[in-house]
Structures are given as C-alpha cells and as structure tokens.
Amino acid sequence: MTTAREPERLPFFVYGTLRPGQVNHAWALRGRAVREEPARIGGALLFDGPGYPYAIAGPPDAVVHGTLVEPGDADYDAVQATLDRLEGYVPGAPENLYERVVTEAACPDGRTVRAWVYLAAEPLAARLRAGGTLIPGGDWLDGDARRPSLLPAEPGPLPPAEQGPLPKAELHLHIEGTLEPELAFALAERNGVALPYATEDELRRAYSFEDLQSFLNLYYALMAVLRTEDDFTDLAHAYLARARHQGVRHAEIFFDPQAHTARGVPVGTVIGGLARALDTAQERYGISTRLIMCFLRDESADSALETFEAARPYLDRITAVGLDSAEVGHPPAKFAEVFALAREAGLKCVAHAGEEGPAGYVWQALDILGVDRIDHGVRCMEDERLVARLVAEQVPLTLCPLSNVRLRVIDDLAAHPLPAMLDAGLLVTVNSDDPAYFGGYVDDNFIAVREALGLDDATLRTLARNSFRASFLDEDTRARYLREVDAHEAAAPARRPGW
C-alpha cells in the first residue's frame, strides 16, 4: 500500500492525535493547513497505544481512517519538521520509531491523493502484530477505540526505543490557560453558553495580545464555559494528554477559584472536578501531579481570605497557594495575611513576581509572603543584590519564555535573559504558563529556547533536572525522576538528534 520514501511536498495523512480536535493538532497544525478533509488509506492496520494509536503496514483489505492535511506553501517545511520530530523520524536513521512513507489516500468524493503517512517501524511493528490491541475498523475516534492508557502507577523510565521528549516537570501551568478553542466550543455547546466568536478559527485569531491585561481580558471571558465538575475534569484530562506527549512526568497545576466563584461556581466544584482527573493522572498518563490554589492579585485581600476559608474543607487536595493575575499596582505585600494562614495550614507558597512588576516585588514575595518559589522573576536581573540572594538560597524561578514574548515582557526570544540567569547560578526552570494562548506547551518552550538562544543538550538537561529539583515532590520520587533524565541522556546517542 506504500511506496518508497520520495522527496515530494505531499499532504500528510494523520490518524491519531494530529486529527482536528485532538491534542497535538492545535499546536502542530493549527493555522498551518490550507485544507483538511476526511480520508482513509488501505493496506494498513491501527493499534491502540498509550494515549495515541500506531499504524503499521497490513493486508490489502485493511483500512485506516484519518484526515488528509495539506499545509500551506509557506508553512510546509516547518510542518514537516514538526511532524518528523513528533514521530521521532530522521531520514535514514536505523533507530526510527516511525518511518515516513508515501501512501494513497481515498477522499469521500472519490479522489485518490498521494500523501505522506507515518507508519511504525520494525521492531515496533512486529511487537504490535504479536501482542498489540487492534482497533477494529481502523478509526481511533470511533466509539470505544480510544481507551484510556494504563501506564505504570510507579514512575519509571520508558524503554529507550520508545522514549519521547526529555523528561521534565512543569511547575508553572495555569489549567484555565490550557483551554483550547476546540474544547471551549464543545463546553459552550454542552452548557448553552454563547461565545462571542462564530468559529474556532475566529477565536484563534483573537489570541493576539498587546500585554498582560489584554490577555487577561480574553482569558477570563472564555472561562464562562467552565460550569460543572465534568467541565473541569475534561479540561484537566485534555492538558494531561498533551503533557504526556511533551515529556511531562510531574505537573504542579495552578487554578484560579475566584475567577469561577465570581460566576457562581463553588470552590468545591472546581477542586472536585480537577481532582477527579488528577487522581487518575499517574495511571492514565504516567504523570504525578500537585494542585496550587492561586489568589487573584487584582482582587481585594478580603476576597483572598474568603476564598481561602471557602477552600478549607479541600486543603487536603492542595499542596500550595499562589498569587497571579495583573501584577502592576498589586504588590505581594497586599496578601500577607492570607499567605500567613496558608503557611500555618502547612501549605507551600509561590507567587508571580518580577514579570511586569519590579524586582522589588520579588523581595516582597520572599520576605513578606515567605514563598518557596518565584513564578517568572525575570526582572530579578535588574537587582544584583536580589540575584545574589536568590543564588545563595537557591530559590527556584519558573520561567515561561514563549509567554514572556507574547505578553511583551521580552521583545525577542533571542534576547531572553535565560542564559544569563543560568550563568549567574540561578535555579531556573522552563514552563508553558498558558499554552493554549501563547502558542506552545512545555516541550515547545524547550525547543524554542534551544533554537533561539543556541542552548546545547547539556543545558537543556540542566533545565530538566532543575524542574524536578524545584518541585514539591518527596525526595524518593524526585530521585526517580532525576534518574529518568540520566537514562534519557545515556540513550540519546542511540536514539536520534533533538528531543
């Protein structure tokens, strides 16, 4: 059913997480395709995998259903490079997990189109034939075909041949900021919410911001679709499925209860819905999780206190409290009382500081709020004494490079202070912040800083190790994850270039 690989600019036939509405479509193909249509290929079999399917060569009468994606001319090379990297394909590399080959795709109108498809290479294909779970009918989205992954409950390294991106922890991730347009429209329909956008594409075009406040205006408006426990559960599952493909092994997830209680959604509904997904995250996605409850700094101190008291019955589900939203004009000191209550309750503390606000806000977060970690903190570099203290105490900083560029905190990613911060001895990590809005999840941020800043593999591994060291994990689990980074490094020469 396939021919040898040919150097042609053909469309791509995708059959799993790259199909419209699925976890990898939004970041890999969104806005880059001039045409997408249903299609099927013959001579192939589809097997269930850990959150995604595998296609392999099969008998002539076997069929796999999917989508034919035609990238625009200007985006073609970038799309091909993205898909090659996602599938672990390097031309001619014997260790490839997938091979990119030419197939014939049949369209609903009777046309037959030559297209690229990624098929599992040997020996993976042999293992699937011998013991894989065949998807009857060849459609991953049909009925019960998409079964939840049953990944090991105990964190451990993946087999080297199937390793994906560099293992990492994500420590700066707003769950509301993972609301992709596809899910926003689905939840709006489910809950009878009218969005001020006619289509998903129109909503995507609205993802253009001048600064933090213009982003927040859209961010809070879209939260109107989040009404029930099921909504928050679905939101968390959608993030975790994406995070799995980004190499995330541990996630410490922010949520903003005040943004929901202001709309009449109880704190218990928010926490209960998120917890339902997080309780299965290790089993389904191989990701350990923690939950961080944030206070909105542009709300009053009394509102933060009321929120904390409303959340008291659920503190066993919460690891830390945080401080986020519009920074300028809202110093950390304003929230001293609620952070003191959180520390008394045995919770960890973090705070956004030194993003748009001055370095002085970082001092306040340290000395008045007693935080264990600073979120963002790029403006610490304006204060030599502050840098010296952060280095001496090894206070972690959770940087979000793509966010910094989109929100105009940094003019150009190539000018990001990340290398200087590492050189100074700061304990910095790389994260995604609000990835649905800022155009990249955490591994996309790793790739972006590698390319824009010329970071080598050793530096990327330092960032990955920092992410686990800066986490709120227990020492044994942290050590296991650090060993995964070591194993990834050891396997790298036998795998492929990149991450």
Strand, helix or coil for residue 248 = strand
Helix (H, G, I), strand (E, B) or coil at 55: strand
| Candidates 182, 252, 355, 356; catalytic one | 355
CA-closest candidate to residue 380, choices 396, 401, 369, 368: 396
Nearest to 254 by CA among 191, 200, 322, 193: 322
Using only C-alpha atoms, the chain has a radius of gyration, in whole angstroms, of 23
Task: For 365, list phi and psi in degrees, rounded to 5.
Answer: -60, -40
Q: What DSSP designation does 73 have?
A: G
- How many whole angstroms separate alpha carbon 426 and alpha carbon 319? 24
Are 461 and 489 in contact by the 8 Å Cβ rule? The answer is yes
Query: Is residue 309 among the annotated active site residues?
Result: no
Q: How far apart are CA 299 and CA 325, in angstroms?
A: 9
Helix/strand number for the chain, H first, E second: 20, 17
Per DSSP, 108 falls in state T
- Name which of 259, 315, 267 is nearest 292 in CA terms: 315
Residue with tokens 């390097």: 90
3-state secondary structure of 245: helix
Q: How many whole angstroms separate alpha carbon 431 and alpha carbon 16?
A: 26
On whether the CB atoms of residues 333 and 301 are closer than 8 A, the answer is: no
Say which residues have a Cβ less than 8 Å from residue 116's Cβ, sequence separation at least 6: 10, 11, 12, 13, 80, 100, 101, 102, 103
Which helix (H) or strand (E) is 67 found in, with range? Answer: strand 63-71
Which runs of E-coded beta strand occur in 261-319? 288-296
Residue with tokens 């900021």: 177
Structure token digits, residue 156: 């451990």
Residue 87: CB atoms within 10 Å: 18
Q: Are 481 and 249 in contact (CB under 8 A)?
A: yes
- Tokens, residue 356: 């748009």
Q: Would you name the residues annotated as active-site residues?
A: 355
